[in-house]
Amino acid sequence: MGLRINDIVPNFSAETDLGPIRFHDWIGDEWAILFSHPKDYTPVCTTEFGAVAQLAKEWEAHNTKVIGLSVDGVEEHKSWKKDIEAVSGAKAVFPIIADASLEVSKQFDMLPADAYLPDGRTAADSASVRSVFIISPDKKLQLSMTYPMSVGRNFAEILRALKALQKTYGQPLATPANWTEGQDVVIALSLDDAAAEEKFGAFDARLPYLRMTSNA
């Protein structure tokens, strides 16, 4: 069974292009995003990792570390980063895990149902799917997404989801559909009207169970 929301994520050891890590120690007291890709030197993956590189200031502003993963080796990762940077125009300063053994991919259930590692493998027959895991500072999984190999991820949406998670983390709040940073948020039903007003002040009750606030 794969990881569920609020599970503590595995504390694995791994080699990356920036050196060895112990995952929980690497996260430290920050948020983290682990994202896998099928294979280095493939077109969609290169555009995806370029998008991650372009968002470096956003990750830093939101106290978030990002780390990639594929079944390729450390030297392939190091060399491939040159292509990522050439395409994106941004420095790829985040580490990429070399998961040739599939140990991490299996712990996070990142593999397609019939995954295997034949000699001369390609992205189509071997590798981790496009998964994303957002992890809070307490090392618990807060969000996961999995895409097929044919669909590139929208990292603007992943950033939006990160902002929503941080906005509501440990608070009696939720974000409505299509929420973006700065918009009103939903007051959780765990608070009655009196408690909601005490905590957030006057709120907009659009329905008895849909109460919005800008004071969070």
Among 45, 52, 111, 162, the one annotated catalytic: 45
Q: 122 is written with which tokens? A: 């390609």
CA distance 56 to 64: 10
74 included as an active-site residue:
no
Contact in structure between 187 and 159 (CB atoms under 8 Å): no
Contact in structure between 54 and 88 (CB atoms under 8 Å): yes
Provide the strand spans (E) within 53-208: 64-70, 96-98, 130-135, 141-147, 173-174, 185-187, 204-207
Residues with catalytic function: 45
